[in-house]
């Protein structure tokens, strides 16, 4: 652990979030043989394929989601991505 981390205060997360594990990612336009605008379609476990969730280029570029990670939405509507290990160590389903 770095000396900076040793000096920093520790915190425990107590937020309630909505989240789904990403099982597949497709560049928007890839399956329709058209040019992509950089957005992505995220597919979640038990949802039908037609319910893929689209994220825009800015979100995709900022978070660089990977299959197995989680799409997370906080109570204020802010959305982000969390790698599986970090999410599963920090959250328990309610």
pLDDT at 31: 58
Q: What is the DSSP letter of 56?
A: -
pLDDT for position 33: 59
- What pLDDT score was predicted for residue 57? 93
- For residues 69-91, b (16+ Cβ closer than 10 Å) or e, as one string? bbbbeeeeeeeebbeeeebeeeb
Residues of the chain whose pLDDT is less than 50?
none
């Amino acid at each position: 652990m770095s000396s900076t981390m040793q000096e920093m205060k520790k915190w425990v997360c107590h937020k309630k979030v909505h989240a789904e594990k990403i099982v597949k990612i497709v560049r928007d336009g890839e399956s329709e043989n058209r040019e992509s605008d950089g957005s992505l379609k995220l597919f979640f476990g038990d949802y039908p394929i037609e319910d893929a969730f689209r994220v825009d280029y800015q979100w995709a570029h900022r978070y660089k989601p990977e299959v197995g990670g989680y799409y997370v939405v906080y109570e204020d509507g802010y959305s982000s991505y969390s790698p599986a290990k970090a999410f599963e160590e920090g959250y328990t389903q309610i």
